[in-house]
Amino acid sequence: MRAYEGKRIRNRIYQILLELGVSECDFAKAHGFDQGHLNRIKNRRLEPTGWVMLRIAKALGRPVDEVFQLEDA
């Protein structure tokens, strides 16, 4: 059994965008993300890959573990 089975990824994308005063649309355009894809990740309808988590965290200027955390399902 993998250590992450039964876990979901929680994120703080919405809160960080609010802190930065940036809209989701502007953030997506500025950093080359598809807004729909970003929205599905933000609203937990899509689990991001490790690569996508790294890209989002870097674009937000935050460490990955500040943006994404594992939680029990």
Residue range 30-44, pLDDT digits in tens: 999 999 999 999 999
Which H/E stretch holds residue 9? Answer: strand 7-11
CA distance 64 to 7: 17
pTM: 0.85
Give the per-residue pLDDT at 71.
81
* Superfamily the domain 18-66 falls into: lambda repressor-like DNA-binding domains (1.10.260.40)
